Structure 1
Amino acid sequence: MTDATQNTTLDQALDAAPLANPMPADALGDAAKSQALKTVLRYKNNKSDDKLRKAMPLMKRAVRLINEEKYREAAQLGLQAVNIDENLALACHITAIALDKLGVASLALGMYERALQLSPEEPEIYQNLGLLAWRMDLYDVAEKFFRIFCRMMPNHVEGPNNLACVLRDKGEFESAIEVLRAAIYENQESSLLWNSLGTVMMEQTEFDNAVLFYEQALQLEPNLARAYHNIGYCRATEGRHDVALDYLQKALDLGVMPANERAETEHAIAISLIGSGQLDKAWDAYECRNNPRYGGATSYSIPLKQWDGEPLEGKKILVVGEQGLGDEVMFLNMGHDLIDRLGPEGSLTIGVVPRLEALMQRSFPTAKVTKHSTVRSNAIPLRGCPLITDWDTYDFWAPMASVLRALRTDIKDFPTEGGFLTPDPERVEHWKSELAKLGPGLKTGILWKSMLMTAKRSKYYSPFTQWKDTLKTEGVVWVNLQYGECAEDIERAEKEFGVKIHQMEGINLKDDLDDLAALCVTLDLVVGPMNATTNIAAGSGARTAIIGAPNAWPYLGTGELPWYPTAKVFAPDTINNWKPAMKNFREWLTEQATKGSDAKVKGAA
């Protein structure tokens, strides 16, 4: 590749790249501490190397801009230095750091690899490659690079710290603890290591132990904002949002956080405000989820003015689904009210995942429903609505949840009965006849896990083994609603528990969501964790039992689900012990089975 071709490609990428959160919150590898950057700042002109002498001022300016978090300008200067001499490992490395911080992952990776090829003895390149792989969820690759860094730099705490954090995210908790224990033995005054040990405890739901380690980190470094953040996050995961808010605000008030970590804390504060029911403050605070420095942010390619609270009457607005599919359904709780607010002169277009189009068009017949699509560019999701062409006819667009701050500022604003989705009546009749073939009993649809059961997510789901007694409830006929890999669990239920979970023929539980809604409202009950299926079921007015985490944020501080009047929540007091929640649900289910299938709540199909 010629210099000119490379420069054009990178410049085009810089023009298109949004800012992004470049670093896991508990990783060490901040650009301000980078040895590569320190090397440049200490450098004195070497007159014997003309190209290096010309490139050095550019690299020094790039370093200063990186430390000022001006990554785009830094990347441009780095590219100029690389164009002077593409064999300058330091220039490639600095450019890679700037691109990495900017969020241009694939180009950063190429620059890191180029720097590594030119300077394979430089340990920091291995560390940065590990950090990048980690952010891309390439945990095995990240582990490999961090282990190399540890061998090359055995006296640096960042090596074992980052290695342990990756092992934690892989669910290898004991290995992570061993790495940190050995590192702490040699570096007992490292607040970072104590903090990371707390995160391992946290992911194992050992909350009190996690807080002890975070507090130890704070004793060593009283201004360690991420430790305050982590205590807040820990308490929020327990459902103790009021306590969480105090710690998260302390982290923010210290004023010493990098922009990406500050964005994470602002988002955590918004979630706890929602979780504690402070909706008058929460929805405005929740706009921080669109901050490009927040790691979970989605970038949008929509050529319209973003709605920012302007009057909606008589306007034409596009609202676009965000986050997971279940969230799209939940946020559309306000769909009918939004149509009413726009009035007869207004117009609503709803952008949803393609799987939801048919169900949403039937549910909101006066709106236009179109698909949104998301592509990943340099590991950054970029969402748009490709089928819309008449952009000049619109007044605004908004991420779906943004409209909640106009329509759902108080619990009283939520509907009190029924559902807001409309399943296909013909398919409802079809499923009535099919379910009748299963004989008498309370027809109960069941799901028990997410398709993405990572180490971080699994703690939010009751283990399948704890469903054993519930599945044996007399008078219940179980119908499978679990999509993804579940054959082993269904076989286990039949062989070990003696319970048949029926598979309904002719339905794709993952992709045919319109038919899924029809099946759900035909069942007497749907039970499972809060995911896409239970959101669709409850949104359609089906009687739904949620086996969920304690005081999760969608409960809005009520202990129930105001989004869905036909839903009932069974939550444990603590996320590390699901048995009480399962016992409560089993006793309730027994009552429902005794009453028979006539126990549907008002509003269910």
Structure 2
Amino acid sequence: MQPLSDEASRHFHEGASLLRQGRLEEAEPLFRAVIARHPDLPEANATLGALLGALGRLREAEPHLRRALRACPASADAHGNLGNLLRDLGRLEEAEACLREALRLRPRYPEALNNLGAVRRDQGDHAGAAQAFQAALAQRPDFHLARVNLAQLLLQQHQPAAAEWHYRLLLRTFPRDATILAGLGESLRRQGRHQEAEAHLREALRLRPDSGAAWVELGNILLATARPAEALPCFRSALEREPRWPEAYLGLGIAAAAEGHYAEAEQHFRAALALKPGLAAAHNSLGDTLRNRKAFGEAEASLRQALQLAPDLAEAQVNLAFTLLQTGRQAEGWAAYEHRWQAAPWVHQPQDLPGRPWRGEDLAGRSILLQAEQGLGDTLQFVRYATLFPPQAHVVLRVQAPLVRLLQGMPGIARVQSMEEPPPPADWHSSLLSLPHRFQHLAAPAVPYLSAEPSRVARWRERLAHLPGARIGLAWAGSPGMAADSRRSMPLPLLEPLAGLAGLSFVSLQRGPAGEAASRLPMERPAMEGDGFEDTAALVMALDLVISVDTAVLHLAGGLGQPVWLLNRHDSCWRWQEGRDDSPWYPGLRLFRQPAPGDWVSVVQALRAALARREWQAAARPA
């Protein structure tokens, strides 16, 4: 340092002491006093520039850092400090040039490498950013900021397992660091390890209850475990700490949408996008919400915007698939649906099946394993495609245990096994829900493709012989584990207006706790044998009509070729398409749609009128 006057020297050292204590505002006037006496002193300009940058006064800081650089053009620190400031100002090309010059002057400069990694990350060069962070760690393995940056980058690159490794390494040194605990929780959530993730986030919030980022991540974990009501206060807590946090508004919207409050959800998503227009996840969630509000054109535009911003956002591809399929654009919809294996929740499902994924290759003399996916109803709907393989192919069907006996008689299938058994060797494998995409050149197999044992059907007809008139099967509730179950299922008492209809007898097809619901609707409640669907199929074949909400019984009746009426929620599943009261999936199906969210009363009124006119009989007559 050049010689200073006594007063300037005293100011410099007092200012440096205050900086070491973190008292930046008090240090500022002391360094300004030094510069007033020695305007080109590089040490004072560099320190004041760094101090102003730390206070967020970036534009004030830049002239001082440039003055320090002019005084010491061969100083790696001067180039590095200016480069870091320019990155904060968003001038990334200038920042990169400064940091590269710093590294030319001093190749072993981990701080500059870390900052160069941050610049490359902001430029979208994730590979270059990772290389810079790794180089910084190679020079200084205990450089925790570079390791945190690398872990966060790995999360952005959809590599949560690699990010977890770095966070766990950091925790060895910083076991009570809330930021690291929250990052570890996020990496675990993205691997589907929600219980572990939640424990780490709650510990992070115990240590730092004012951490908005930790509140947001805990909310995300609660959303991933289907607990939207618990997630809402987490996102609100984040917004109390930072009212302009787009990710917190995004979480609020997702939680509201999960509860079926789509108008509220849309407001939150638009608030997130007003703060951060490039937030692809918000465009994706907005698109799905608009689909559920039946604004299909806007939904598609929003989802395509999400994919323009983030082409690898598989969740947006899946939501686009739902939008396309719901509006009847089958070919493009099924193609987009193939991206689901990179999207939550499918990405967490084990896919270690034998053989190679089948994409339409010749199967003559070869074997293929067809794997059930999602719920029982999905299997019953799409198992029809298993019959399209050539006779020379050895087809093995692996499905949920309750469906094994029912499906054993399907033609063209060599073997049906439970998913609880280990898969057998096979040359190829495919999910059932990928078959519509692979078989688009063929017509879907005709209904019926399911069958019931004739002897069982005869026994059920005997058991129901005492019931007068037409026998109508009822199923009013689905599995509580399904995300939209509270909206697709209906309370049994809402069906009581059907009581008193002449010439009809009602028979319960409902299983589980919902089957015990009390009601004044006279109804036969027969006990079915076992947990499988083979006895239910026989009972369905002994009935004249099945009326069901959107659950597995509906698909069973449809696949058997029986007349079936669907009582459908307003935010309909994509498979029932829009603007029609029939279905290409099941010729005997008729839809009764809610005219507004939650309006089962109107649905039951229309249903009662149709039953009184015995309209299922007219539909069953040949043209």
* 1:579 Cα deviation from its structure 2 partner: 3.1
SS at match of 1:518: helix
Q: Summarize the alignment of residues 370-389 of structure 1 with structure 2, pairs less than 5 Å apart.
A: 370-373=416-419, 386-388=423-425
- Work out the CA distance in 1 between the residues paired with 2:264 and 2:549: 27
1:48 matched residue in structure 2: none
How much has 1:160 moved relative to structure 2? Answer: 2.6
Q: Which residue of 2 aligns with 1:252?
A: 307
Structure with larger RCO (C-alpha < 8 A, sep 6+): 1
User: How many angstroms does 1:96 deviate by?
Assistant: 12
Distance 1:334 1:171, change over 3 A: closer
C-alpha displacement at 1:243, in angstroms?
2.9
Q: Is 1:564 equivalent to 2:564 in the alignment?
A: no
Deviations 1:91-145 (A, max 9, x none): 999999979998898x999998897687441213542565477668887876665
Q: Which of 243, 255, 264 is the matching residue for 1:209?
A: 264
Hey, what's the Cα distance between the residues in 2 that align with 1:385 and 1:69? 39
**Structure 2 residue matching 1:213: 3-state secondary structure:** helix
State the structure with more CA Rg. Answer: 2
- For each residue in 1:399-427, what CA deviation from the matched residue of structure 2 results, as whole angstroms up to 9, or x when unmatched? 223232343469xx3467x4211111110
Q: Give identity over the alignment, percent.
A: 23
Tell me the distance in 2 between the aligned counterparts of 1:231 and 1:100: 21
Do 1:229 and 1:251's aligned partners in 2 also have CA atoms closer than 8 Å?
yes
Which residue of structure 2 lines up, in the alignment, with residue 601 of structure 1? 620
Describe the superposition over 1:508-541 as per-residue Cα deviations: whole angstroms up to 9, x where unpaired.
Answer: 3xx2211211111112222222222221121112
Mapping of residues 186-205 of structure 1, within 5 Å: 186-205=241-260
Identify if the C-alpha distance between structure 1 residues 428 and 385 changes in structure 2 by more than 3 Å, giving closer, same or farther. same
Structure 1 residues 218-241: Cα deviation after superposition (integer angstroms, max 9, x where no partner)? 111111111111111112233444
Tell me the equivalent position of 1:534: 554
1:296 to 322, 332, 346: 346
Q: Distance in 2 between matches of 1:209 and 1:324?
A: 29
CA shift in 2, pair 1:534/1:468, >3 Å: closer
Asked if the contact 1:149/1:159 (under 8 Å) is kept, the reply is yes
- Give the superposition deviation at 1:287: 1.6
1:202 deviates by 1.7
Q: Does structure 2 retain, via aligned residues, the 8 Å contact 1:471–1:499?
A: yes
Residue 587 of structure 1 aligns with which residue? 609
**Could you say what secondary structure the match of 2:346 adopts?**
coil
Which residue of structure 2 aligns with residue 431 of structure 1?
460
Contact 2:354 2:424 in 1 (8 A): no
Aligned: 1:265 with 2:306 = no
User: CA offsets per residue over residues 350-384 of structure 1, 9 Å max, x none?
Assistant: 333343232222132x421221526xxxxxxxxx8
Distance, in Å, in 2 between the alignment partners of 1:542 and 1:155 is 59
Classify 1:100/1:527 alpha carbon distance in 2 versus 1 (closer, same or farther; 3 Å).
farther
Match of 1:234 in 2: 289
Gaps of 5+ in 2: 1-112
**Counterpart of 1:350 in 2: which secondary structure?**
strand
The CA distance in 2 between the partners of 1:175 and 1:355, in whole Å, is 33
Q: In structure 2, how many angstroms separate the alpha carbons of the residues matched to 1:409 and 1:243? A: 30
The one of 521, 526, 533 equivalent to 1:499 is 521
Alignment partner, residue 555 of structure 1: 576
Q: Kindly indicate whether residue 535 of structure 2 is the aligned counterpart of residue 515 of structure 1.
A: yes
CA change 1:581–1:168 in 2 (3 A) is: farther
Aligned-partner Cα distance in 1 for 2:528–2:534: 13
Deviates more, 1:310-319 or 1:467-476: 310-319
2:451 equivalent to 1:451: no
Shift in CA distance, 144/208, structure 1 to aligned 2, threshold 3 Å: same
The one of 376, 381, 399 equivalent to 2:431 is 399
- The number of residue pairs the alignment matches comes to 503
**Alignment of structure 1 residues 53-132 onto 2, 5 Å:** 119-128=174-183, 130-131=185-186
Contact preservation (8 Å) 1:370, 1:387: no
Instruction: Quote the Cα distance in structure 1 between the aligned partners of 2:417 and 2:464.
Output: 32
1:429 CA displacement: 0.3
- Which residue matches 1:358? 405
Worse-matched range after superposition: 159-168 or 320-329: 159-168
* One-letter amino acid of the counterpart of residue 571, structure 1: R
Alignment correspondent of 2:595: 573
In 2, are the aligned partners of 1:349 and 1:368 still within 8 Å (CA)?
yes
In structure 1, the residue corresponding to 2:526 is in which secondary structure? coil
**Residues 124-163 of structure 1 aligned to structure 2 (within 5 Å):** 124-128=179-183, 130-131=185-186, 145-163=200-218
Aligned residue type for 1:205: G
Q: Could you tell me whether the CA contact under 8 Å between 2:494 and 2:601 is conserved in 1? A: no
2:320 partner amino acid:
I
TM-score, normalising length: structure 2: 0.67
Q: TM-score, normalised by structure 1?
A: 0.69
Contiguous gaps of at least 5 residues in structure 1: 1-56, 375-383
Map of 2:17 onto structure 1: none
Q: What is the SS of the residue equivalent to 1:397?
A: strand
Counterpart check, 1:421 vs 2:450: yes
Distance 2:156 2:270 in 1: 32
Displacement after TM superposition at 1:288 (Å):
1.3
Residue number in structure 1 paired with 2:9: none
Match of 2:13 in 1: none
In structure 2, relative to structure 1, the CA distance for the partners of 1:187 and 1:209 (3 Å cut) is same
Amino acid at match of 2:494: W
Q: Which residue in 2 is equivalent to 1:45?
A: none
1:326 to 377, 384, 387: 377
Deviation at 1:333, TM superposition (A): 2.8
Task: Give how far 1:428 is off.
Answer: 0.4
Q: Distance in 1 between matches of 2:260 and 2:353?
A: 40
